[in-house]
Structure 1
Amino acid sequence: MEKRQRHRYVATYMILALLMSLIGRLSSLSVTVNDVECVYEYVIYEGDTVSGNFVVVDHDIFWNTDHPGIDFTVTSPAGNVVHTVKGTSGDKFEFKSPRSGMYKFCFNNPYSTPETVSFYIHVGHIPNEHNLAKDEHLDPINVKIAELREALESVVSEQKYLRARDTRHRHILESNWDDENFGSYTKIPQFFEAPGCNAVQLVKNDREGEEMLAVFDKSVAKAPEALQSPQTESACALKNGLLANHFSSVHPGSVTVNLGSSGVIAYSLNRQNPLLPRLFAVVDDIFCLFQGHIENVALLKQQYGLNKTANEVIIVIEAYRTLRDRGPYPADQVVRDIQGKFAFILYDSSSKNAFLASDADGSVPFFWGTDSEGHLVLSDDVEIVKKGCGKSFAPFPKACFFTSSGGLRSFEHPMNELKPVPRVDSSGQVCGSTFKVDAETKKETGMPRVGSAANWSTNL
């Protein structure tokens, strides 16, 4: 028995040692780009896989003007360009080295304002059949271990890329706290009671956390009556910042956006699901919190005339602006055009309108409910919703969207009514209803009357 255990320990040690010997070289660094800055990396073997990513994480003017983005170019030892990207705020790259030698990775910033770039590079080597034939001591299992190591490395690289993107978004938000750049948005040291505030205020909590939360006053978003449970023990989610304070204590590191008398939004960009990242942006008094990913990003950028640096949350904001300013345009079509896994919460402070949606499969956890005062509560954390709503909550319906003026609708079946279906929990108590498409009930439709008003948000 002891001999078998010793053999297992020896085998484990040998595998670990082999992994260490096969680990490819990797580098992670920060580069300040004033004009042209280059990083050099030596690749030992021809055919090795060179991969990595870069993100502009610190920027003085990158998001405040029509900055063309930075250029990224990789040059081989022979002077040939093996990879190039133009006008971007970040990207991933991967290529097979055409030969061994010193490779040059250059960033070009067309503006004189310095940009800080988070740069990660990995050189991976997997022995092939030719190596096995030349080296009789190289066991085929070594190749399998190297392949496994490279697969793990790709996961690490993706995590570093998402972490750099998170840093960039946090820097964007923190730069917005500058009164000169953010106008009426005020930096304050603590959370104030929302109904008593007259201006939009931002609060940053310096602890770590995750999740998202929004609470809207009933004057902004009236919750469906069917969400209200007859057996509820809910509180007022907005009173004295009750739910926002609880959110910050449970999910440290969160950022709280106080919307004055309209409500509150809170979120964190830390420790995210890499497959369903969370993004936040503010554009022209429109606040948007997005979680997930959009598959047809390129098509939507073209459709809405956005530049290369636009991400998912910017696409949603622009889609809403199109609805608001260039209508009448069917809101169900706008949401249906977004392909992917997502949930988003949008608030327009200029018109006091809310716009919410979840994808057709309900891929992102998303719950909504109503508190004792009829305020609408939304979060991807069911326990947070229970804290504010008691039993008056339910999962947000799949393939549906909600607007302040139009209420809850299905974007897959916009001509059909939605009917509430009561829910009963494990203890037999009635909870807030879910909503299903009623195939037998059609909505009344008619030709929309075109008026002179430029704002169509009341018809969303």
Structure 2
Amino acid sequence: MLGIFKQKLVNAPKELNSPASLNSCIKPKLSHEILKDFMSCNSSNAFSMCFGNDALLAYSTSYKPSINHRLFSGLDNIYCVFLGGLHNLSMLNKQYGLSKGTNEAMFIIEAYRTLRDRGPYPADQVLKELEGSFAFVIYDNKDGTVFVASGSNGHIELYWGIAGCMFHSEHGLMNFEHPTQKMKAMPRIDSEGVMCGANFNVDSQSKIQVMPRVGSEANWATWG
């Protein structure tokens, strides 16, 4: 799966920029070039969806049978690309009042919409309820927000952030297992000894403002 977003939507942590790229004579690829490469590698089973010049989502199904689902769903101008599987999906669907046939991508959209509109719990509390290996990207075309998360076991690779993390375009990068502590960037060194980016770990010495618990009528998306 692939998600590309304009900077006005996603203000990425500055540590994710590779210092090596600043000194390179090679220009970074443009969005359409990245998409072209993705589609050429998955030409027979891939599709993409563009949202003007602001966002792009691309998705491909797997060639081989796998326990890790690759799913794409959209509902009410909210779009989700999901990779992996949830062991407790049946329980979650029942908890949210959804039909038994609701797949992981549709459940994630419903959970996000509940949080956005009337959720009594912070996003990190909901993510802690998800059991399994997963990574997903949500793009809310109506509100112009991006929500990205990966499971805490690290079995599904998401090349932005680290395992157990979530990113919201309004609140930034945080760890949903330790939501009251900041993320600390640790330099990543390549085989030639050159700093090429950063991995993020929980800073146990830090504290951040936590999202207040509110009534079900509140809109958590406006917090911060």
The change in CA–CA distance for 1:305 and 1:421 in structure 2 (over 3 A counts) is same
The aligned counterpart of 1:458 is: 222
Report if aligned partners of 2:128, 2:177 keep a CA contact under 8 Å in 1: yes
Report if aligned partners of 1:272, 1:278 keep a CA contact under 8 Å in 2: no
Identity rate, percent: 39
Residue ranges of structure 2 left out of the alignment (5+ in a row): none
The aligned counterpart of 1:249 is: 40
TM-score for the superposition, normalised by structure 1:
0.45
Larger RCO: 1 or 2 (CA < 8 Å, sep 6+): 2
Say which of 131, 134, 145 aligns to 1:339: 131
Aligned mates of 1:215, 1:401 — CA distance in 2: 17
Structure with greater proportional helix content: 1
Is 1:429 the counterpart of 2:221? The answer is no
1:220 deviates by 1.1
1:400 deviates by 0.7
> What number of residue pairs does the alignment pair up?
218
The aligned counterpart of 2:207 is: 442
Aligned mates of 2:2, 2:47 — CA distance in 1: 10
The aligned counterpart of 1:409 is: 174
Aligned mates of 2:120, 2:141 — CA distance in 1: 21
Say which of 299, 312, 335 aligns to 2:91: 299
Aligned mates of 2:159, 2:37 — CA distance in 1: 17
The aligned counterpart of 1:231 is: 20
Question: Helix, strand or coil: the match of 1:422?
Answer: strand
The change in CA–CA distance for 1:446 and 1:330 in structure 2 (over 3 A counts) is closer
Q: In the TM superposition, what are the counterparts of 1:19-418 in structure 2 within 5 Å?
A: 212-232=1-21, 233=24, 235-238=28-31, 241-253=32-44, 254-272=46-64, 274-368=66-160, 396-418=161-183
Aligned mates of 1:248, 1:228 — CA distance in 2: 25
Question: Helix, strand or coil: the match of 2:143?
Answer: coil
Q: What do you get for the CA RMSD once the two structures are aligned?
A: 2.0
Report if aligned partners of 1:328, 1:459 keep a CA contact under 8 Å in 2: no
Runs of 4+ in structure 1 over 2 Å off: 444-450, 454-460
Amino acid at match of 1:249: S
Query: Looking at CA atoms only, which structure, 1 or 2, has the larger radius of gyration?
Result: 1
Aligned mates of 1:306, 1:279 — CA distance in 2: 17
Aligned mates of 2:64, 2:148 — CA distance in 1: 21
Question: Helix, strand or coil: the match of 1:223?
Answer: coil
Question: Helix, strand or coil: the match of 1:280?
Answer: strand
TM-score for the superposition, normalised by structure 2:
0.90
1:274 deviates by 0.9
